[in-house]
Amino acid sequence: KAGVTQTPRYLIKTRGQQVTLSCSPISGHRSVSWYQQTPGQGLQFLFEYFSETQRNKGNFPGRFSGRQFSNSRSEMNVSTLELGDSALYLCASSLRTGSTYGYTFGSGTRLTVV
């Protein structure tokens, strides 16, 4: 079965622009979580969506937002990009909340802000 698909794989944006990243979870999975990975801060939780509702949000400014559609696909948006937003953005899907069998991650979107 198809894994978690993240698009695009690579992005280059200019400071001040906005960007939208997409994540299609495994078929049947209803939970999508987003993470930011940087060399300095490591992997940090952004937010989690389950059945189109945001369930959890990490400590990120309001410039970071997300949503989930009825087909469980999720998008995250970053407005007014800053150089520090350059990172690998990973999404993970799971069947439900409180998963005990692990979360399946996508290959990530590597965002470079110049």
Partner 1 sequence: AQKITQTQPGMFVQEKEAVTLDCTYDTSDPSYGLFWYKQPSSGEMIFLIYQGSYDQQNATEGRYSLNFQKARKSANLVISASQLGDSAMYFCAMREGDGNNRLAFGKGNQVVVIP
Q: How far is the CB of 55 from partner 1 (least distance, A)?
A: 6
Question: Which lies closer to partner 1 via its Cβ, residue 13 or residue 110?
Answer: 110
Structure tokens at 67: 């949503």
Give the whole-angstrom CA distance, residue 27 versus residue 23: 12
Encode burial over 66-102: b for 16+ CB neighbours within 10 A, e otherwise: bebeeebbbbbebeebeeebbbebbbbbbeeeeeeee
The alpha carbon torsion through 44, 48, 54, 58 (nearest 10 deg) reads: -10
22 and 75 Cβ atoms separated by less than 8 Å: yes
Residues in 76-105 at the binding interface with partner 1, rule: CB under 8 A? 88, 90, 92, 94, 97-105
Per CB under 8 A, the list member of 31, 72, 74, 86 interacting with partner 1 is 31
Question: Which lies closer to partner 1 via its Cβ, residue 2 or residue 14?
Answer: 2
Question: Which lies closer to partner 1 via its Cβ, residue 48 or residue 85?
Answer: 48
Which string of x and - marks every residue 33-62 that binds partner 1 (by CB under 8 A)? x-x------xxxx--x-x----xx-x----
Positions in the binding site for partner 1 (CB under 8 A): 31, 33, 35, 42-45, 48, 50, 55-56, 58, 88, 90, 92, 94, 97-108, 110
